[in-house]
Structure 1
Amino acid sequence: MVGARDTCKEARTMKTQTLNVGLVGYGMAGRTFHVPLIQAAPGLELTAVVSGNAERVQVDHPEVEVLPKAAPLFARRDIDLVVIATPNDTHFPLAKAALTAGKHVVIDKPFSVSASEARLLKAQADGAGRLLSVFHNRRWDSDFLTLKALLDEGALGRVVALESRFDRFRPRVTDRWRDHHRPGGGIWYDLGPHLLDQARQLFGMPKAILLELATSRDGAEVDDDFLALLEYDRLRVSLQASSLVAEPTPRFRVHGTRGSFVKYGLDPQEAWLKAGQSPAPGWGVDATPGTLTLDEGEEESTPLTSREAPVVPGDYCAFYTGIAETLLRGTPPPVTSESALDVMTLLETGLDSYRQGRWVKLKDGKSALRRLHSR
């Protein structure tokens, strides 16, 4: 196993000054992701939660104060950091109000429902000298960190194709806001930010994007399937997600001039959090490693070799540990508002592509490919 910084372990040993955190929203994202990760982070204390279901919060966390509305939370002088884990179309007004009240802010992905709103929030935070970050937690998936390590060491040679899929089988349409026709609903705004952010982390901003959306389930009113193609120099990137895939598909399939990396199965951290497990030392180890198939010989007749890829553990703890270090020590934030704004630009440009039925170029498209063309 490849060594990795264990920020879950650090959470047990690094507590010094404490910052008070207020969480807005106690749905799936707030309850499953944000609360346990905030509580595991050194230097952060979950002080109050805004929720319309006070009983559920107090059953889970009797020590935490529950408020019915966000405004009283923003007015409290003891709250240093506000975390917004509410429906996508409420991100902008809530973050704007929190920043106006002088709070540092973390927003659950996506940043907002439009790039223009995201730019306004970034400008407001920059002008006020406040931290503004977005919870792009899948930068710390085990399979993504493993792939990143393989690319950093040049194990696959020059990468020529990457396929990244996030498929699920959810044939029944729910009454949740994500399944309703409202700004920020649908699978493109749900899973698109994850896959776009990972592609951007690996290769930078693409030159252009082509997006296809589909509404496939019986009774569905919003998109529940997408295919996005990203244009880079000498590299094809395909991003796909669906709600009607029952058979396992590769999470990653990556091909290069020296070989391929294929990974099945999702990072386990989300499932563990949903099951009520708390981050602890050793957290994030994926028991289903990917497969490396490589050409390790000098002759064309040399047979390919296949083996398990060395696993880099996932580390969702790194996000809030990084947020605390930014606020207490001045280190760079784990997710900058600039990088989150790039993801919003890709989301919005993708929608332009779908509406126009063609490739759409990024106005300031700059392909990083920082490691690939040198190999």
Structure 2
Amino acid sequence: MTEPVRIGLAGYGFGGRYFHAPLLASAPECDFLGVVTSSPERRDQVARELDRPAYGSLAELAAAGAEAVAISTPAATHVPLVQQALGLGLAVVCDKPFALDARTARETVELSERLGVPLTVYQNRRWDSDFLTLRRLVDSGALGELTQFESRFERLQPDPGPPSAGGGTLLDFGSHLVDQALVLAGPVERVYAEWHVRDGEDGLDDDVFVALSHRGGVRSHLWGSWRQGAPGPRLRVSGTSGAYVVEGVDGQEALLVGGASPASEGDRWGAEPEERWGQVRRGDHAEPAPSAHGAWDRFYPAFAAAVRGDRPVPVDPWDAVATATVLDAARTSATTGEVVRLPA
């Protein structure tokens, strides 16, 4: 049996506490050492909730024998912390958004390659039950030739949305929305976007729409919102012989926030009840599409295998550069009102 990868977590806000710590603690392939945080409040939380030590810096974590670190801190700190961790020889998982722009994303991936240290991005939504089910339907030909991908991450008002350090809705939800669109439909040639910028000193966007024209002919329409009074369907994906529609969101986030984990749920982890399955619709006919199990729990075992040199990282960091390039174009389009063409 391969020795578990000794890994720490940087940051213990919402993402670190709910999206990373339970999955790290549940993965037998990982030896979860503790959390890097300088906040006294967070250090107390770590001691109470994890029974693991808190470290004052990445250097202190590395000195404690860590081989890797998952970074789940405010968006503006991602690139500096990733580059520091790579310089310490730590393999890195970086939460989304990977970087605030494509230039710094590209520079960071190039640094990883020069140093020969593994780097990946936590695009957990690739392992949502609905997206896994969609890919199965597309691969089987159940929808025919794919024509349009509609995807939403919309939250009910009056949720205040991410703080200013989160980078805004375009970067926050957009990182997942664009990544899924690129995985499903491939490279993009044209980008159009609209957004609402909220009043106040942060001036961040809290409601965005992005339209992508993919080089293969598919169109993606993507919505992200923290101010939506009536969220639309999570997915509506059309092909030449049918459409797949899912109303609600994947249940793994709710499980983690509620205190469950892959360790506590076992084989039940990620299972969607039948009433939450999506449908394949063909005209007036609709039939349920059994949902694949959501599989966020696969990410860290796959990352550990990559650190041991047994497989590639679960998300190629160059995919994050491609996503950042599209998000840069969307920001330009939302600001100018023009369609932005991307180079081949």
Match of 1:27 in 2: 13
Match of 2:45 in 1: 56
Find out whether 1:190 has 2:172 as its counterpart.
yes
The CA deviation string for residues 113-142 of structure 1, in whole angstroms up to 9 with x for no partner, is 121111111111111111000000000000
Distance 2:336 2:293 in 1: 41
Give the ranges of 4+ consecutive aligned residues of structure 1 lying more than 6 Å apart after TM superposition.
217-220
Find out whether 1:96 has 2:76 as its counterpart.
no
The structure 1 residue matched to 2:190, chosen from 198, 208, 220, is 208
Bigger shift: 165-174 or 236-245?
A: 165-174
How much has 1:361 moved relative to structure 2? 1.1
The number of residue pairs the alignment matches comes to: 335
Bigger proportion of residues as helix: 2
Find out whether 1:158 has 2:140 as its counterpart.
no
How much has 1:56 moved relative to structure 2? 0.6
How much has 1:217 moved relative to structure 2? 7.4
How much has 1:193 moved relative to structure 2? 0.5
Distance 1:270 1:167 in 2: 14
Distance 2:89 2:59 in 1: 13
Match of 1:227 in 2: 209
Q: Is the 8 A contact 1:173 1:219 kept in 2?
A: no
Q: Partner amino acid for 1:79? A: A
The CA deviation string for residues 76-98 of structure 1, in whole angstroms up to 9 with x for no partner, is 16110011110011011111111
Find out whether 1:324 has 2:308 as its counterpart.
no
The TM-score, its normalising length taken from structure 2, stands at 0.92
How much has 1:221 moved relative to structure 2? 3.0
Match of 2:54 in 1: 66
Q: Is the 8 A contact 1:179 1:221 kept in 2?
A: no
Match of 1:298 in 2: none
Q: Is the 8 A contact 2:244 2:280 kept in 1?
A: yes
The TM-score, its normalising length taken from structure 1, stands at 0.85
Gaps spanning 5+ residues in structure 1: where? 1-14, 296-303, 365-375
Q: Is the 8 A contact 1:212 1:227 kept in 2?
A: yes
The CA deviation string for residues 326-374 of structure 1, in whole angstroms up to 9 with x for no partner, is 122420111011112111111112112222221111123xxxxxxxxxx
Q: Partner amino acid for 1:131? A: P
Find out whether 1:352 has 2:332 as its counterpart.
yes
Match of 2:125 in 1: 138
Map 1:120-135; keep pairs closer than 5 Å: 120-135=107-122
What CA RMSD, in Å, does the superposition of the two structures yield over aligned residues? 1.8
Q: Partner amino acid for 1:188? A: L
Rg larger in structure: 1
Query: What is the percent sequence identity of the aligned residues?
Result: 36
The structure 1 residue matched to 2:24, chosen from 33, 38, 53, is 38
Q: Is the 8 A contact 2:159 2:227 kept in 1?
A: no
Find out whether 1:18 has 2:7 as its counterpart.
no
Bigger shift: 42-51 or 93-102?
A: 42-51
The CA deviation string for residues 141-178 of structure 1, in whole angstroms up to 9 with x for no partner, is 0001111111111111122222111111142537xxx3
How much has 1:112 moved relative to structure 2? 1.1
The structure 2 residue matched to 1:289, chosen from 277, 283, 292, is 277
Q: Is the 8 A contact 1:248 1:264 kept in 2?
A: no
The structure 1 residue matched to 2:234, chosen from 247, 251, 267, is 251
Residues 80 and 362 of structure 1: CA distance in aligned 2, closer, same or farther (over 3 Å): same
Distance 2:231 2:204 in 1: 24
Find out whether 1:270 has 2:253 as its counterpart.
yes
